[in-house]
Amino acid sequence: MSNLAYKIDIIVIGGGQAGLSSAYHLHQMGLQGGKGYLVLDKSPRPGGAWQFRWPSLTMKTINRLHDLPGMGFAEVLDPGQTEVRAAEAVPAYFEAYEQRFQLPVYRPVTVRVVCRRGDRFRVETDQETFSARGIINATGTWDAPQIPYYPGRELFRGRQMHTHDYRTADAFAGKRVLIVGAGISALQMLDEISRVTEVIWVTRRPPEFRAGDFTPEDGRAAVAIVEERVRQGLIPGSVVSVTGLPMTPAIRAMRERGVLNRLPMFSEITPTGVRWADGREEAVDVILWATGFRSALDHLAPLDLREPNGGIVMAGRLATQVAKDPRVHLVGYGPSASTIGANRAGGAAAQELARTLGLTPARP
Ligand SMILES: Cc1cc2nc3c(=O)[nH]c(=O)nc-3n(C[C@H](O)[C@H](O)[C@H](O)COP(=O)(O)OP(=O)(O)OC[C@H]3O[C@@H](n4cnc5c(N)ncnc54)[C@H](O)[C@@H]3O)c2cc1C
């Protein structure tokens, strides 16, 4: 790797909702794209992780996509077209957005490692090396699927896969499938796969279904809980663990079809299936881990941002600033791990980081 590095004030790592929102605000503040700031994105196309989501995830079945700042989704797609695939619609919107604001996004560029060099950061990628004064990290979670360890996992002769690898229910026809997890993705896959084959559903805790609509106040309360956790340096935890699962019409219909038969977690994996503590066994062909994702932050390891418990102490107006090093912001992490949260956090991170670095924006 060359010692020569392109010098930039702020590097945004990741070009999903969080990275684009941050870039928009840096642009609005008058920072010069390509020198004052730039975005490095590993994905082949605009769209962040949305471009990789399974085909049956449509604009109707996602929770809700909040508009990026400054340009509405409706400018690209009629919001009434709810049957369109999220993996097509959202990337089209992000692409138009990048063009509208001429955001300097370089892709595909994977950031391999970030380390300190004097009062700057050295950002090593699979292509060039960059030198930055500040970092806004917006790398999401899609690249860090989480699978808990259960004894015997390595002995299983069937197929193990994660939400990350799910494409279509038809691929499971004729197979016996076990789904692990109590989140929204687990339920969507249970709904789809149970229409083509037999499915066993296990969760660690009984899932908590919320009666009634999820109000904006509920949203704010959930975000406040996660924000408090990261300010204390705890691992953020998933949003569903805070909000519970909405009892949507789709979930009600699943209950009526008799597929919401949750079993407790098994205690071990056998070569042919799973076994519970009481000795009961089930043979399965596929174990589908819908067990969530963690933040994709491995490239920041040399910065030593984590506490011994694995959490990161966060500070700043919307808890995007890393307390140990205020020149690093994490957007799309913890309380901002949603499309609306990423929007707001991008603005806060851009403003606070520019202030920390003493950059004088040309425009207010
Ligand atoms: C199945 C599913 C459905 C969801 N539905 C909703 C919903 O309906 N509403 C909602 O608000 N939220 C939803 N979420 C959460 C939502 O996707 C996120 O909060 C938001 O879109 C994430 O944006 P992001 O920019 O943080 O991450 P991403 O969209 O993951 O973007 C991160 C980008 O960073 C890039 N990157 C990663 N590592 C590197 C690296 N080392 N170097 C360079 N680039 C890198 C990635 O390639 C990617 O392009 C959903 C999540 C999942 C998994």
Taking Cα atoms as reference points, which of 301, 289, 299, 358 lies closest to residue 327?
358
Backbone angles phi, psi at 67, to 5 degrees: -60, 145
Mean pLDDT for the stretch of residues 34-56: 95
pLDDT, residue 39, reads: 98
Q: What percent of the chain has pLDDT over 70?
A: 96
Mean pLDDT for the stretch of residues 48-57: 94
Average confidence score pLDDT of the chain: 93
10 Å Cβ neighbour count for 326? 16
Query: 286-325 burial, b for 16+ CB within 10 Å, e for fewer?
Result: bbbbbbbbebbbebbeebebbeeeebbbbebebbbbbbbb
Mutate to test the pocket of ligand 1, among 12, 13, 17 (most ligand atoms within 8 A of CB): 17
CA 350 to centroid of chain Cα atoms:
20
CA distances to 1, 123, 298 from 128, in Å? 8, 9, 19
88 within 8 A of 94, measured Cβ to Cβ: no
Q: Where along the chain do its domains lie?
A: 6-143+293-356, 153-208+244-289
Q: What confidence tier does 363 reach under pLDDT thresholds 50, 70, 90?
A: low
Distance 297 CA to ligand 1 centre (A): 13
What is the C-alpha separation between 260 and 176, in angstroms, rounded? 16
**Closest C-alpha residue for ligand 1 atom 13:** 338
Query: What confidence tens digit (pLDDT) does each residue in 147-161 have?
Result: 999 999 999 999 999
What is the second-level CATH architecture of the domain 153-208+244-289? Answer: 3-Layer(bba) Sandwich (3.50)
Distance 133 CA to ligand 1 centre (A): 25
Q: 283 - beta bridge partners?
A: 273
Distance 156 CA to ligand 1 centre (A): 31
What is the C-alpha separation between 197 and 274, in angstroms, rounded? 18
Distance 257 CA to ligand 1 centre (A): 32
225 pLDDT more than 80? yes
Q: Look at 76-80, 149-153, 288-292 and tell me which has the smallest mean pLDDT.
A: 76-80
* The pair of three-digit structure tokens given for residue 276, joined into one six-digit string: 């519970």
State if pTM tops 0.85. Answer: yes
241 pLDDT more than 80? no
Mean pLDDT for the stretch of residues 93-111: 98
Mean pLDDT for the stretch of residues 203-230: 86
Q: Which residue has the higher pLDDT, 284 or 211?
A: 284
Q: Report the nearest atom of ligand 1 relative to the CA of 110.
A: 42
Query: What confidence tens digit (pLDDT) does each residue in 250-263 have?
Result: 899 999 999 999 99
61 pLDDT more than 80? yes
Distance 198 CA to ligand 1 centre (A): 31
Mutate to test the pocket of ligand 1, among 21, 22, 40, 42 (most ligand atoms within 8 A of CB): 42
54 within 8 A of 168, measured Cβ to Cβ: yes
64 within 8 A of 342, measured Cβ to Cβ: no
Cis peptide bond N-terminal to 151, omega within 30 = no
CATH homologous superfamily for the domain 6-143+293-356? FAD/NAD(P)-binding domain (3.50.50.60)
Q: What confidence tier does 362 reach under pLDDT thresholds 50, 70, 90?
A: low
Q: Which amino acid is at 61?
A: T
Residues with CB under 6 A from ligand 1: 13-19, 40-43, 48-49, 53, 62-65, 110-111, 138-140, 142-143, 185, 296, 299, 332, 337-339, 342
SS3 (DSSP) at 123:
strand
Is the fold of 6-143+293-356 the same as that of 153-208+244-289?
yes
What is the C-alpha separation between 95 and 88, in angstroms, rounded? 11
Mean pLDDT for the stretch of residues 188-213: 91
Mean pLDDT for the stretch of residues 28-46: 95
Helices then strands, counting H and E runs in the chain, come out as 7, 19
